[in-house]
Structure 1
Amino acid sequence: MGMSRIAAATLPALCLLASPAFAHHMESGQTPTGALAGLLSGLGHPLIGWDHALFLLAIGLLAAATGAVRAMPAAFVLTVTVGVAVQYALPGLPVLPWLAPATVLAVAAGMLARPGTPQSLWISVIAVAGLIHGQAYAQAIVGAEPTPLAAYLLGLALVQTALTVALALLVQRVPGLAARAGGLLRATGVGMLGLAAVLLATS
């Protein structure tokens, strides 16, 4: 399958997952009240927001292209957790809803403009973005008891790590994909850039 067709197939699938009917989290806007509810909310939240889903796609591809298969997802998951914790501890901290989609736009632009950016710089950018996404994720859990909070963080960590690492390994290990990772990165960057710009403008 060609690079453009892979990107074209992946992006709409993620957008379908990002249904506006689930705009907040898996509990229909209600704060999780138990361990299972917290876990399900954590597992589902990154997949039901288009900005978060697209960003996970970008991380997986960047991790494969830069060789940071473990370091980049780990940096994102860690800083997301910090972002959630800070917002949970300081619920009055302002949340700017456009910031998370803006990170998708910025990273997509970077994927096109500077595909040869050093691994360390990409990891730093992804880590900063993780704080922003974590702040947004925290809106699903602020006010919850410690047990659902811990389960929510576990769910977030599991789903984000699984998706980004699995995608990175897939690109690296499938015959032919590793050699064309740069092309896949650029093709996906084009799609992400256009979609992110449109949805950011209409959000």
Structure 2
Amino acid sequence: MKKLLIAAAASLAATPALAHHPLAGEPMMTFAHGILSGVGHPVLGFDHLFFVAVMGVAALFTGRKLLAPAAYIAAMMAGVLIVSLGGALPMVEGVIALSLLTLGGIVLSGRALSLVPAAVIFAGFGLFHGAAFGGPIAAQEAGMGTQVLVGYLIGLAFIQYAIALAAGWVVEHLLSASEAAAVNARLSGALAAGAGLFLCLEAVEGPALTALFGA
């Protein structure tokens, strides 16, 4: 558990800039670039990484640990397509922060979700995570081929599904959490909720200081 906490602290120290440059800032030009960028974004962005990991833990206790994360994957891909095709969703970063706080809080509480409510929560927040992933695609749409978008979606779907399943496996088999109320399962919720709280405070810090002290 000490190693888990150290890893979490290291992830929280990552800057937002790193989370959005899996190719070191280079544009995506090929199918392989799309896959690499799709794999890199969720891994380098601690907000997405923490959400997908805690989602895997929550999915574990739905009784359908392989199926439940698919709701997130489908909605996430829809969010990418919405933004890449010129659409937009409101308050994306704020909702992502709220997603960590909400799902982390549910896991921290020791409550096991059934499949339907879990799928609704996963999909609802997945749409906004996907919208964040769609930003790099929209930013370079003019020079991007369809193969890049396909590779990007494949990379995103594969790595996030793998992370979710791996997180559930670690909690179940290495941390010996056989039920949602187990301490080690709830600690994973605490980590995610803490990250969400950090992001929420960061989001309100600027407006709050402006309101108090002026521009």
Q: TM-score with structure 2 length normalisation?
A: 0.80
**1:84–1:138: 8 Å Cα contact kept in structure 2?**
yes
SS where residue 28 of structure 2 aligns? coil
Q: Does 1:84 align with 2:83?
A: no
Aligned length in residues: 198
User: Of the candidates 118, 123, 133, which is equivalent to residue 122 of structure 1?
Assistant: 118
Query: Which amino acid in the other structure matches residue 149 of structure 1?
Result: L
% identical equivalent positions: 28
Q: TM-score with structure 1 length normalisation?
A: 0.84
Q: What is the match of residue 177 of structure 1?
A: 176
Q: What is the match of residue 192 of structure 1?
A: 192
Question: Structure 1 residues 169 and 195, CA, compared in 2 at 3 Å: closer, same or farther?
Answer: closer
SS where residue 62 of structure 1 aligns? helix
Structure 2: tracts of 5 or more residues without a match: 204-215
Mean Cα deviation higher: 33-42 or 165-174? 165-174
SS where residue 98 of structure 1 aligns? helix
Aligned equivalents of 2:152, 2:73: Cα separation in 1 = 13
Q: What is the match of residue 96 of structure 2?
A: 100
Shift of 1:99: 1.7
Instruction: Give CA-to-partner distance per residue, 1:67-119, whole Å, 9 cap, x none.
Output: 32111221111111111111112245555322212211111122234613323
Aligned equivalents of 1:97, 1:178: Cα separation in 2 = 31
Question: Structure 1 residues 184 and 123, CA, compared in 2 at 3 Å: closer, same or farther?
Answer: farther
Question: Structure 1 residues 195 and 92, CA, compared in 2 at 3 Å: closer, same or farther?
Answer: closer
Q: What is the match of residue 210 of structure 2?
A: none
The structure having more radius of gyration, on CA atoms, is 2
**1:82–1:134: 8 Å Cα contact kept in structure 2?**
yes
Aligned equivalents of 2:62, 2:88: Cα separation in 1 = 37
**2:35–2:151: 8 Å Cα contact kept in structure 1?**
yes
Structure 1: tracts of 5 or more residues without a match: none
Question: Structure 1 residues 125 and 94, CA, compared in 2 at 3 Å: closer, same or farther?
Answer: closer
